[in-house]
Amino acid sequence: MKTLQALINRNRKLFFRDRGMLFSSLITPVILIVLYATFLAKVYKDSFTSYLPKILHVSEKLIDGAVASQLGAALLAVSCVTVTFCVNLTMVQDKASGARKDFDVSPVKRPVLYLGYFCATVFNSLMVNVLALVLCLFYIRKMGWYLSATDLAWMVLDVLLLVLFGAVLSSIICYPLKTQGQMSAVGTIVSAGYGFICGAYMPVSNFGDGLQKFLSYLPGTYGTSLLKNHMLRGVFAQMKEDGFPKQSVTEIAKSLDCRPMFGGEVVSTQEMIAVMAASILILGAVYLVVTAIFIKRNTVKS
């Protein structure tokens, strides 16, 4: 346990000492929220208002609050996963700098070494994404606040699940990489593509039936939907209080991916949490198997 703790502290300190990596990780949520508010807010607002009943008067605060909550959910859904790839750069840097050779001849067990990378990635990513969550809450507060303490607690759990998912995913993908150039290329691809396939940039409900069915098999889709459900719950409750027809609220929730479908059935929030937890466990098992195979091969060669 002391060895694992020392490795975690070592990897965390390396993250903070690398000012370039630290700055890029911390600035990412700020850049995203500015870009989202600048370029996506109008798109989200037009899409949201198109589903509102024409006969009802809807306050501007309610519309702005719904748009801000949707933007916040989209930002966190992307940031929680993509930031882990940046944070996990320590694993690749050790290979590029030759530091891993020192670990290979040390008495440190390989599973403990890889667990140290993983835990440090989770802790550092949580630090960055909790900051992102706070920024999102400030933005929502300014635009239109309909959140409760329970919603906030659920959002913290959502962020934790997505960070764990991103950590195991990035650990598997980053494991075979040996240069920072390879890591930068992977990070760029993930940053560019993940927002689309998880439904952050555009609701999955806007895609074609075939693509919707394919995306329903990806856990990231449900991670994004979890955030949207908990950030928009208060908005939907206010709509019902203002006299919105139940069917209209349901259709709006469906258009914003708060009621994702799988096999023709609506996936509940409890089922989404179960999907994310199962995905983390399965990917974690894959990571352990991959590292174990590598260790066994090295042992045979030596």
Q: Tell me the average pLDDT across 278-290.
A: 90
pLDDT digits (tens, 9 = 90+) for 177-198: 877 777 777 877 887 788 888 8
Residue 300, pLDDT > 50, answer: no
Task: Output the pLDDT for position 298.
Answer: 56
pLDDT over threshold 50, residue 134: yes
- Residue listed under structure tokens 């501007």: 60
Average pLDDT, stretch 282-289?
A: 89
- Residue 238: which residues within 8 A CB-CB, separation 6 or more? 62, 146
**CA distance between the termini of the chain:** 27
Backbone angles phi, psi at 262, to 5 degrees: -145, 120
pTM greater than the 0.75 cutoff: yes
Quick one: pLDDT at residue 6? 85
Q: CA–CA distance from 136 to each of 83, 115, 163, 273 (Å)? A: 16, 31, 16, 22
The two tokens of residue 138 are 């400030």
Domain spans, the chain: 2-301
Top pLDDT among 202 and 30 is at 202
Residue with the bigger pLDDT between 201 and 104: it is: 201
When comparing pLDDT for 128 and 33, which is higher?
Answer: 128
pLDDT at 252: 87
- Chain centroid, CA 198 distance in Å: 9
Q: Kindly state the percentage of the chain with pLDDT values over 90.
A: 28
Beta bridge partners, 265, equal 262
Model confidence at 49, in pLDDT bands (50, 70, 90)? confident
> How much of the chain, in percent, has pLDDT values that exceed 70?
92
Distance between CA atoms of 113 and 210, rounded to whole angstroms?
42
Helix residue ranges per DSSP H, the chain? 2-17, 19-35, 41-49, 60-87, 89-97, 99-104, 110-143, 149-174, 180-197, 209-215, 219-241, 246-255, 269-301
> Which H helix or E strand runs over 262?
strand 261-262
User: Mean pLDDT across the stretch 6-10?
Assistant: 84
Mean pLDDT confidence for 252-261: 89
pLDDT in tens, 221-248: 999 999 999 999 999 999 888 888 888 8
- Give the per-residue pLDDT at 20: 67
Is the pLDDT higher at 201 or at 54?
201
Residue 168 CB neighbours (<10 A): 24
Residue 24 has pLDDT above 70, yes or no: no
What integer is the mean pLDDT of 199-205? 83
What's the pLDDT score for residue 12?
A: 81
CB 75 within 8 A of CB 136: yes
Average pLDDT for the chain:
84
